[in-house]
Chains A and B, each alone.
Chain A
Amino acid sequence: EDKVVQSPLSLVVHEGDTVTLNCSYEVTNFRSLLWYKQEKKAPTFLFMLTSSGIEKKSGRLSSILDKKELFSILNITATQTGDSAIYLCAVDPRSELTFGTGTRLTIIP
């Protein structure tokens, strides 16, 4: 059975801190790993990772994939209150994505 595990489940930090969110997976026929940010009801796409060791960056956010150890991390530097959200990791083994339960990130001003 395909499985995606995210940690920590919840994280509270002060504005300006750097955070690292973790996602480990066990799937057959891995194709890609995706990160989403969910603030209200609809997740918004952040990154798609298909190759090991290649960092993807978007502003203060970055992510990297390790296909040997079967995990990915999402880094957020100089956090802002607008970064408060649930961050979802998903893996695409076949047609449908398998999602983790997410990490709830809260940034305290």
Chain B
Amino acid sequence: GAGVSQSPSNKVTEKGKDVELRCDPISGHTALYWYRQSLGQGLEFLIYFQGNSAPDKSGLPSDRFSAERTGGSVSTLTIQRTQQEDSAVYLCASTPIAGELFFGEGSRLTVL
């Protein structure tokens, strides 16, 4: 597709379960970002991938969160042992250059 694609669009899980969220960026975009948006909050930076460089993980809120980007394209954000405070919309964005981001539609995670 032409845009950033995320899946699943909605995920409901039980507390303690692991979840995986997927992001397929725009072809050719070298940079990929994950953000989290909780109800009433702004966008919270989680992690940033740029080309083959080591990712900037400074925004990950705990060691239950991890992300990888395989082959410089598709990225997976994994949340282990989910907690209710993990409930949020997880947004992925990609960019060919620093600054202008193209966002996916997001994955809404609800932890019961």
Q: Which residues of A contact B (CB under 8 A)?
A: 4, 31-32, 34, 40-45, 48, 88, 90, 92, 95-102
Contacts and interface: CB of A to CB of B under 8 A. Distances in A.
B105 A42 contact: yes
B73 interface: no
A14 B73 CA distance: 45
A100 B42 contact: yes
Given A41-B89, A97-B45, A101-B41, A92 B104 contact: no
Interface of B: 31, 33, 35, 40-45, 48, 50, 56, 59, 89, 91, 98-106, 108
B92 to A, nearest CB: 10
Contacts of A97: 33, 43, 45, 99, 101
Nearest to B103: A42
B45 to A, nearest CB: 5
Given A42-B106, A95-B56, A96-B56, A48 B42 contact: no
Contact of A31 (B31, B45, B98): B98
A99 B48 contact: no
Contacts of B43: 43, 88, 90, 97, 99
